[in-house]
Amino acid sequence: MDMIGQQLMNAVMLGTMYSLVAIGFSLFFGTMNVIHFSHGDISMLGAFIALFFVPIITQYSVLGSVIMFIGAIVIVAVLGIFLSGLVIQPLQSSPQLYTLLATLEAGLVIREAIRLFYPGGKMSQKFPIIFPSGGFSIGGLTIRFDQLFILAIGVAVFVATVLIVNKTSLGMAIRAYSQDKEASMMMGVSESKVIAVTFALGSALAAIAGILHGTYYREVIYTMGLTSGIIGFSAATIGGLGSIWGAIVGGYLFAFIQTSVSAFVPGGSEYRDVIAFGVMILFLLFRPTGILGERQSERV
Amino acid sequence: MNKLIVLLSETVLFALLILFLIAESVSITILFIVAGFLCAAAVLIFPKKAERIIKPFAKERRTAIIFSMILMAILPFFFTTQPYWLLTLSLAGIYIMLANGLNMQTGTTGLTNFSGAAFFGTGAYTTGLLSVHLGLPGWLTIPAGMFASVLIGAILFFPVLKVKGHYLALVTIAFGLMFNIMLNNTDAIGGPQGISGVKAFAIGGFDFSGMWAIGPFIFSSYANNYWLTLLAAILALAFTRYIYNSPVGLILNYVRDDEWSSKSQGLNISYWKLIAFCCGNALIGLGGALYAHMIGYVAPDLFSFQTSLLLLSMVLLGGMDSIPGVTVAAFVMIVLTEKLRVIQDYRFLIFGLLVIIMIIFRKEGLIPSRVRPYFPKLKSVLMKR
């Protein structure tokens, strides 16, 4: 019971981070019909930009952490808009393969830039502790405060995203644009605005995921973006690409598969990604629209 | 006249290549690179004038190919004192095979394969394991490596046939990551340390790691491996060219360009996709097998996603579906990084940026694939319109 509880908590933590990245994939696919393969590296970039705020944290502990969060999120959101203007919008009319390659190479450039130009970027970097340490136990299950904070932030962000997309006029514009591009533009929806907002929102979520990853594992490394990006896309695919709830469900499901493999299969912790990806491939083959159904299916 | 131009320009290019490789100072290397870039830019800006130099090559194709093969074959005679560069050239030859195999899948048939490094690794590991643990001779291990690549590719057959576009990209990327994790964590194949002590290729009692001499010229293992790689690369290129120019190549292009239309013409799409996927993987496996015998050591680091992306960059920079383009791109990228040790660490960054620029401004690559000249007369009529 004890171990199961801990593993469950672990899965919830991982799932929160995966879902945050997965929502970005779903948003971009839903509105612009593209897959932004450098999304995971954007998330990694968020964690590294947060590292620049370390002096502020040491000076004003709680306020500093808030500043770090907001600062990193805003910077990454702006970078996300910039990146979409550079590698995604110019390629809207060309074959899909080019967008894929351009975003993959953009991710490579981000990774390499961090590795080469961030001081000591080849090694993993220590991430500051921003949440209060300590914890409490319920019935033998120890819950750390930072786990609670991560979960709370994650849920708050999920709710905020769903509210933004479903209740605000901006969200309505995004939904209208994703349903029918031409008609929405005739109704006065500004295309550039929708694209910018989508990319800002998705990149901000990715940055939050990156920072949470850093606080949970206490360290960040330049390669973490590649895996988290592929996992995020896999999660969005399992859940059903294009749907925000699908991304969230997919993220948690992927994390549960991973943790149960490493917990219950002997010697499975190294192979947890292998099995989780295998499950994703099976999903793609036998239930191509994901759990909640994709907006439009083009994969078969 | 045409023949003379071809022979002369090939000799000049050959001499320049040797000078470039032998030159030791960085400034001369950079001078060469700048000159090369200017030439490439001139060709791109004035395509009509460049056509005048290229035309003799098209007319005297057989002479051009045979003469260049002779030149490449006698190349080790110039490197008896600096055999290291022969290793670089052999590596370039291996990457030419890899990039062309990938081009057959991604460029010609439109099967996005982001796990080229996994098949490269399969070839290399199979050859290495068979050579180290079973002591099998090279003429057996190399076909085994190719076969293993095709076989491992079979795991991906089903997804490749069923899944399209970015989902195929996702599946192949995930496959590449899975493959790398397996290599790193399976102790039976050396884990992160990989396999060392792979024996050099040997045939009929002649060991490729041995030295031998003709008169004053002493050839080391580098030269032996260079000839082996050259032979393999020539065979691989001949094979890809044969496939590309045969009706099969046309069918593969057709499948890539319009699946529904080709289906309605009675083509079995799955069958042709499998053919292209297997042929490509066999070439990639061949590259891996030769690599294992040449370097004598295989480790998981090389067979990572970075290498897959590097291979795709070669295809894209050279020109999708263009065999000469891909070959030139692979050669230039490998030789340049080996020659300019300074940029070694920055190569992925530089190539990544170059690919992005290329995708935005010149999608067809440096040497675009040409329209198939099945009806030369019809083509000239079409051009006039």
Together in a domain, B311 and B204: yes
Rounded to an integer, the average pLDDT of A17-42 is 90
Q: What is the pLDDT of residue A300?
A: 34
Q: Which of residues A291 and B278 earns the better pLDDT score?
A: B278
Determine contact: B315 vs chain A, CB below 8 A. Answer: no
Cβ distance of A109 and B353 shorter than 8 Å = yes
Task: Give chain B's domain count.
Answer: 2
Does pLDDT of A291 surpass 80? no
Closest CA relative to residue A73, chosen from A167, A157, A190 = A157
The amino acid at A254: F
Do the domain assignments include residue A263? no
| Residue A298 pLDDT level (bands cut at 50, 70, 90) | very low
Do the domain assignments include residue A178? yes
Q: What is the pLDDT of residue B62?
A: 85
| Residue A295 pLDDT level (bands cut at 50, 70, 90) | low
Q: What is the pLDDT of residue B149?
A: 94
Do the domain assignments include residue A264? no
The amino acid at B361: F
Cβ distance of A273 and B177 shorter than 8 Å = yes
CB atoms within 10 A of CB A199: 29
Cβ distance of B312 and A101 shorter than 8 Å = yes
The amino acid at B299: A
Q: What is the pLDDT of residue B101?
A: 95
Nearest residue, CB atoms, A116 vs list B158, B174, B346: B346
* Cα–Cα distance measured from residue B37 to residue B29, given in angstroms and rounded to the nearest whole number: 12
Question: Tens digits of per-residue pLDDT, B104-141?
Answer: 999 899 888 899 999 999 999 999 999 888 888 878 88
Contacts of A30 in chain B (CB under 8 A): none
Report helix, strand or coil for A12. Answer: helix
Together in a domain, B1 and B130: no
Cβ distance of A274 and B309 shorter than 8 Å = no
Label the pairing between strands B195-196 and A135-138. unpaired
Does pLDDT of A283 surpass 60? yes
Do the domain assignments include residue A193? yes
* Cα–Cα distance measured from residue B248 to residue B278, given in angstroms and rounded to the nearest whole number: 14
Do the domain assignments include residue A235? no
The amino acid at B14: F
Q: What is the pLDDT of residue B139?
A: 83
Does pLDDT of A294 surpass 70? no
Does pLDDT of A68 surpass 60? yes
Boundary residue ending a domain (B79, B108, B129): B79
Q: CA-based Rg of chain A, rounded to a whole angstrom? A: 19
Determine contact: A60 vs chain B, CB below 8 A. Answer: no
Nearest residue, CB atoms, A274 vs list B112, B170, B182: B182
Do the domain assignments include residue A63? yes
How distant is the Cα of A150 from the closest Cα of chain B, in angstroms?
27
Together in a domain, B46 and B69: yes
Alpha carbon of residue B338 to chain centroid: 16
Nearest residue, CB atoms, A100 vs list B112, B158, B182: B112
Say which residues have a Cβ less than 8 Å from residue A150's Cβ, sequence separation at least 6. Answer: A13, A16, A17, A131, A212, A215, A216
Together in a domain, B70 and B86: no
What token pair was written down for B21? 């490789």
**What are the b/e assignments for A77-109, b being 16+ CB within 10 Å?**
bebbbebbeebbbbbeeeebbbbbbbbbbbbbb
Together in a domain, B207 and B221: yes
How distant is the Cα of B185 from the closest Cα of chain A, in angstroms?
7
| Residue A24 pLDDT level (bands cut at 50, 70, 90) | very high
Determine contact: B114 vs chain A, CB below 8 A. Answer: yes
B185: closest chain A residue by CA:
A270
Together in a domain, B74 and B169: no
The domain in which residue B73 lies consists of 1-79
Task: Give chain A's domain count.
Answer: 1
Question: Tens digits of per-residue pLDDT, A215-247?
Answer: 888 889 998 888 899 999 999 988 888 888 889
Boundary residue ending a domain (B79, B96, B113): B79
A34: closest chain B residue by CA:
B166
Q: What is the pLDDT of residue A299?
A: 38
What is the interface pTM, i.e. ipTM, of the complex? 0.88
Together in a domain, B147 and B129: yes
Boundary residue ending a domain (B35, B64, B79): B79
Question: Tens digits of per-residue pLDDT, A148-172?
Answer: 888 999 999 999 999 998 889 888 8
How distant is the Cα of B107 from the closest Cα of chain A, in angstroms?
10
Rounded to an integer, the average pLDDT of A250-273 is 86
Together in a domain, B71 and B175: no
* Cα–Cα distance measured from residue B245 to residue B227, given in angstroms and rounded to the nearest whole number: 27
Q: Which residue of B166, B180, B187 is the best one to mutate when testing the A interface, meaning the one whose CB has the most A CBs within 10 A?
A: B166
Residues of chain B with pLDDT under 50: 385
Together in a domain, B9 and B53: yes
Size of interface A-B (CB pairs under 8 A): 115
Question: Tens digits of per-residue pLDDT, B177-186?
Answer: 999 999 988 8
Does pLDDT of A296 surpass 70? no
| Residue A82 pLDDT level (bands cut at 50, 70, 90) | very high
Question: Tens digits of per-residue pLDDT, A6-16?
Answer: 888 889 999 99
Do the domain assignments include residue A80? yes
Q: Which residue of B108, B113, B170, B363 is the best one to mutate when testing the A interface, meaning the one whose CB has the most A CBs within 10 A?
A: B170
Does pLDDT of A133 surpass 90? no
Q: What is the pLDDT of residue B382?
A: 62
Do the domain assignments include residue A233? no
Together in a domain, B267 and B335: yes
The domain in which residue A204 lies consists of 13-131+140-223
Q: Which of A191-205, A254-268, B109-123, B316-330 has the lowest average pLDDT?
A: A254-268
Cβ distance of A298 and B114 shorter than 8 Å = no
Alpha carbon of residue B82 to chain centroid: 24
| Residue A21 pLDDT level (bands cut at 50, 70, 90) | very high
Together in a domain, B96 and B22: no
Q: What is the pLDDT of residue B156?
A: 85
Contacts of A112 in chain B (CB under 8 A): 346, 348-349, 352
- Confidence (pTM): 0.89
Query: What percentage of chain A carries pLDDT values higher than 70?
Result: 97
CB-CB contact of B285 with B119 (8 Å): yes
* Cα–Cα distance measured from residue B280 to residue B100, given in angstroms and rounded to the nearest whole number: 8
Q: Report CA torsion sign: A56, A57, A61, A66.
A: positive
Q: What is the pLDDT of residue B328?
A: 92
Q: What is the pLDDT of residue B381?
A: 63
Together in a domain, B376 and B342: yes
